[in-house]
Amino acid sequence: MKTANVLIGGVGGQGVILTARILAEAALASGQKAQMSEIHGMSQRYGSVVSTVRIGRSETPLVKKGEADAIVGLEPLETLRLLPWAYHKTVVVTALTPIRPLSVVLGEATYPPLEELHGQLKERAGRVIMLDADRIAQSIGPVIVANSVLLGALMGTKVVPVPLDEVRKALLRHVPKKLAPANLEALDIGYGVAIQDGYSIAFA
């Protein structure tokens, strides 16, 4: 059975842990083994958060550097910080909207241009999909469903051996009922973008 090592990163408040939990639960529901890591980094709002999901036989939920099959970044700079876990076949799915840390807001540091971030991702990974997940989410309804756009894109890459229907069911178990339609639509849009993508796309 195919295995998959997935890293999901972003900042506090973006739904990193929820996204990882949905993926892990969907894998378990489909009859596969799955492990999810504890939180790495700081979970308060705007602090870095990383979670790992390992699907298939594994002794630990942690992923070694250079062994991630997929990286999902809910914030561009946080995606870049996960590159040490990538190798030449890694698929990277990343959002485009930056959340500038306090040091940048105060003028003590600068946020690198998105073109530079994209270039570094393409140099290290096998495939890069960049989506304006916030814009897609806002076209549906609340921006909070942006993580479902990115999760859908991950599923569309076919890197993760989990049926999309199981992801939908797991998603519905965790999101408020009033947000269920928007989350499902976001998931399907992200999935469609990845399916149509040949190598790399900037959806803007």
Largest CA distance in the chain: 50
Q: Please state the domain extents for the chain.
A: 4-203
Q: Bigger pLDDT: 2 or 166?
A: 166
Taking domain 4-203, whether its CATH number is 3.40.920.10 is answered by: yes
Q: Which of 67, 53, 128 is nearest to 96 (CA)?
A: 128
Tokens of 128: 């890069």
State the pTM of this model. 0.90
**pLDDT tens-place string over residues 30-89:** 999 999 986 655 545 567 889 999 999 877 878 999 999 999 999 998 999 999 999 999
* Other residues' Cβ atoms within 10 Å of the Cβ of residue 117: 21
Strand ranges (DSSP E) for the chain?
A: 4-11, 34-36, 40-41, 48-55, 70-73, 91-95, 127-131, 200-203
Nearest to 26 by CA among 183, 187, 173, 179: 173
pLDDT tier for residue 160 given thresholds of 50, 70 and 90:
very high
CA–CA distance, 37 with 53 (Å, rounded to integer): 6
* Distance of alpha carbon 20 from alpha carbon 201, whole angstroms: 23
